[in-house]
Structure formats: C-alpha cells, structure tokens
C-alpha cells in the first residue's frame, strides 16, 4: 500500500474517533452542570451556553496558530499535541467539581482543538491538485460519520453508565486515535511541478488571502455555513414540538438534526469528485443556491416528515461545500502556507459556531423560529450572488486544476 493511501485510511479512522468522542459529551453538558449544585434553570441555561461556546471562541483564535506551526514544524507533530491535549482535557472533565472548573477545561479544549483541521491540511498537502476534491471528500466522510455517531453514543453511555465514565471513555478513545497517528502516519508533501516552496510570513499569507477575492469569499462561505447550521440547532427541539406534540421530542429533534449529517455523508465524496472535473468554485456556487432552495422552505412546513425530507436534501448540498472549499485552497495556495490558510478558514467556521446560536436565539425571540430558517437561507443566496459576481471578474480562478495545467 502506498504511504499516501495508508495515511488517508489512518486519518479517516482518527477523524472518525475524534469527531465521535468530541461530540459524545455535547448532549448532556447542561445536565452535567446540574450535578455540581442546586442552581436555577436560568443559571444552568446561561452557563450551558458559556461552556458550549467558549471552546469554539478560543479555537477561533488558535486555529491559524496551529496551522502555521504545522507548516513550519510538521503537521504530524501538531496532530499528536492536539490529540493528546483534547484527551487530557476530557479526562479531567470527568473529575471536575465546579462549573468554573468545567468552563476552564472547555476553554483549554478550545486551545488544543486543532486535530481535524490539521488532519485536513496533512492529507491536502500529500494530494495531487487534480484529485484533491475526491481525496478530501473521502476524509470528510470520517469526520461526518463520527459527528453523527457521537451524540447518539454519548446519550446512551451517559444514561447507562453515568457522566464520569462517558468522559473517561471519550478520553480513552482519543488517546487511542492519537497513538494510531503517532505510529501509523508518515508525513508526505506532494509538490506539483514548478510549485512555490517559499516560506511565507504571516503578513504575506494574509496579503495572499486578501488579494485573492475568490479565496476570501470561500472563507466567508465557511462562516455562513456554520452560522446557518448552528442558528437552528438549539431551536430544533422547540420547532419539532410545534409540528408534532408527542412524548419523544428529544429523539425526533435528534433525527431532524442527524438526517442532515446523513445527507452530508452520502454526498460529500461525490461532490468533491465532480469539483475535480468541472472546478470547485463552480460547484460551490451551485451548492450555495441549492442550500438556499432547501433551507428556506423549512420555515413553512406543517408536518414533521416535510422538515426531515428538506433537512436531508439540505444535507446533500452541504456535504460538498467543505471538501470543495478545501480542495480549492489546495489549488490556489502554495503547500508551505496551506496549513495556516486552512487554519484561518477553520477560524471562520468556529466563529460561525459562536454567532449562529446567539443570532438564532435573538431572531427566534423577536420574529419566531420560522424567521431563522428564512434569514439563514437568504444568507446562502446572498453568498451565491456575491460569489457569482467575483467569479465573473476572476474567470481563471474557477477553472478545474487539470484545465489550468493544460492552459499553462
């Protein structure tokens, strides 16, 4: 087996375990806070938001730093540092005795939340430009699969074995995934013929991003995707309850959310493959339009089955956005700056994770839950319009990699 193929398989499983373990604890964070003392509902709700959001806020600041370190000193080293860092933070969460202690550990977890973006950078750097979309789409299926399984397993384990054992189990799985990378991965960098190998300063990298309008817009799209997804996530249970008043609301809300991930899993590799052939930016434009088409009607459903179908169809579109964006970065950025550029892209995603729940809650409070679907869907449409304008002014930026080589 080629080194590149072995690396991809190992990182697929590592990303699966990391994503599953990291999301296993999310469903019961608010319940875990209640075990620390007798608190009011308002206090628990407020600190649940703080504890949930602080990880993404800190990760927003640190993601480019890990990317830069990876470019300079090797991405495998960063994978090992961040993998063991997340494992230690989750292990300690199992023994924490206060809300503030949990908050601090979630903050530390944000500092070391660099495993998955670094894994993407490692696989991207070893991939050929003309097949990067398919390769990164394959890697993305591991992350999506883990994210789908995590909350389900976390809820089952917490109900049967308790919160502490769940934290210890997730920590152990991440330790094993990191050891898998430590002993199984051999870092490889694929340099295209004539590709620039200059070491760039942070200022030069930021200038590269700002002077490439399509690249900058790709990062804005990352922000919009996460903002839209996370704007409705905390509200889905309430929305499902309005559509279908039954006892098993939590299960139905979980189904409504997870079916998006299922669509994502089915389509992600295929969209990456198509992007390799026709150009990743063209696919991004198509997917943004389709995302708006299937997101906005969710505001007008009258039955739960309608919501589930629309969220599945929306998931099919979102599945192609991340691998196509990453493959485009592989094409337009020299390999020596890809880690840092992907870090900035990941920062935009983490920022969306913070903005989404806050803006969604505010909109729902003022205009109702339906308005969140409409406005978030319109964000996709606006992004598509702006991207189309930028594409029309930068025609060479939308060509597939093979066409660029032929033209040169």
pLDDT in tens, 2-14: 888 899 999 999 8
Pair (51, 116) in one structural domain: yes
* Banded pLDDT at 179 (limits 50, 70, 90): very high
Do residues 225 and 284 make contact, with C-beta atoms less than 8 angstroms apart?
Answer: no
Pair (143, 215) in one structural domain: no
User: What pLDDT sits at residue 403?
Assistant: 52
The boundaries of the domain holding residue 157 are 1-188
Count the domains in the chain. 2
Q: Encode pLDDT of 108-139 as tens digits.
A: 998 988 888 888 888 888 888 777 778 888 88
Pair (144, 287) in one structural domain: no
Helix (H, G, I), strand (E, B) or coil at 305: helix
Q: Encode pLDDT of 355-406 as tens digits.
A: 888 888 888 888 888 898 999 999 999 999 999 999 888 765 555 655 554 4
Q: What is each CA distance from 133 to 108, 296, 380, in whole angstroms?
A: 32, 28, 21
159 vs 3, residue with greater confidence: 3
Pair (297, 251) in one structural domain: yes
The dihedral sign for the CA sequence 281, 334, 195, 10: negative
User: What pLDDT sits at residue 335?
Assistant: 78
Last residue of a domain, one of 165, 188, 211: 188
In a domain, 197, yes or no: no
Pair (270, 355) in one structural domain: yes
Do residues 105 and 96 make contact, with C-beta atoms less than 8 angstroms apart?
Answer: yes
Q: At residue 408, does pLDDT exceed 50? A: no
Pair (62, 147) in one structural domain: yes
DSSP string, 236-279: HHHHHHHH---S-HHHHHHHHHHHHHHHHHHHHHHHHHHHHHH-
Q: Which of 322, 151, 314, 164 is nearest to 237 (CA)?
A: 151
Reading the block at residue 358, the tokens are 């806050």
pTM for the full model? 0.78
User: What pLDDT sits at residue 118?
Assistant: 87
Q: Which of the 8 DSSP states describes residue 211?
A: T
Q: Encode pLDDT of 268-291 as tens digits.
A: 888 888 888 888 889 999 999 999
Name the percent of the chain lying above pLDDT 70: 90
54 vs 52, residue with greater confidence: 54
* Banded pLDDT at 298 (limits 50, 70, 90): very high
CA distance 56 to 354: 7
- The enclosing domain of 316 has a CATH number of 1.20.1250.20
Pair (102, 240) in one structural domain: no
Last residue of a domain, one of 188, 216, 233: 188
* Banded pLDDT at 407 (limits 50, 70, 90): very low
User: What pLDDT sits at residue 286?
Assistant: 94
């Amino acid at each position: 087996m080629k080194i590149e193929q072995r690396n991809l398989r190992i990182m697929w499983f590592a990303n699966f375990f990391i994503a599953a373990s990291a999301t296993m604890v999310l469903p019961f964070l608010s319940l875990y806070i209640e075990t620390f003392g007798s608190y009011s509902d308002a206090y628990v709700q407020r600190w649940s938001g703080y504890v949930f959001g602080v990880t993404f806020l800190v990760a927003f600041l640190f993601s480019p730093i890990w990317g830069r370190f990876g470019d300079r000193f090797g991405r495998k080293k960063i994978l090992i540092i961040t993998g063991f860092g997340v494992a230690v933070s989750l292990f300690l969460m199992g023994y924490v005795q206060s809300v503030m202690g949990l908050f601090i550990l979630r903050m530390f977890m944000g500092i070391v939340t660099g495993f998955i973006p670094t894994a993407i950078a490692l696989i991207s750097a070893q991939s050929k430009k003309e097949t990067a979309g398919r390769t990164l789409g394959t890697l993305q299926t591991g992350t999506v699969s883990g994210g789908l399984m995590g909350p389900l397993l976390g809820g089952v384990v917490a109900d049967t074995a308790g919160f502490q054992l769940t934290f210890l189990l997730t920590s152990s799985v991440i330790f094993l995934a990191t050891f898998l990378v430590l002993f199984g991965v051999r870092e490889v960098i694929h340099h295209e013929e004539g590709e620039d190998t200059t070491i760039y300063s942070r200022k030069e990298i930021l200038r590269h991003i700002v002077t490439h309008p399509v690249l900058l817009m790709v990062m804005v799209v990352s922000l919009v995707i996460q903002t839209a997804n996370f704007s409705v996530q905390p509200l889905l249970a309430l929305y499902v309850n309005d559509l279908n008043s039954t006892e098993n609301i939590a299960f139905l809300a979980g189904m409504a959310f997870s079916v998006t991930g299922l669509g994502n899993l089915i389509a992600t590799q295929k969209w990456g493959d198509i992007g390799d052939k026709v150009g990743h930016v063209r696919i991004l434009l198509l997917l943004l339009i389709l995302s708006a088409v299937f997101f906005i009607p969710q505001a007008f459903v009258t039955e739960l089955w309608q919501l589930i179908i629309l969220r599945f169809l929306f998931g099919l579109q979102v599945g192609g956005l991340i691998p196509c964006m990453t493959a485009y970065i592989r094409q337009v950025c020299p390999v020596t700056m890809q880690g840092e550029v992907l870090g900035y892209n990941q920062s935009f995603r983490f920022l969306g994770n913070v903005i989404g729940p806050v803006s969604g809650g505010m909109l729902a409070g003022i205009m109702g839950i339906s308005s969140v679907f409409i406005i978030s869907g319109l964000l996709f449409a606006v992004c598509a319009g702006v991207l189309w304008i930028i594409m029309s002014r930068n025609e060479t930026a939308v060509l597939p990699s093979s066409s660029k080589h032929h033209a040169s």
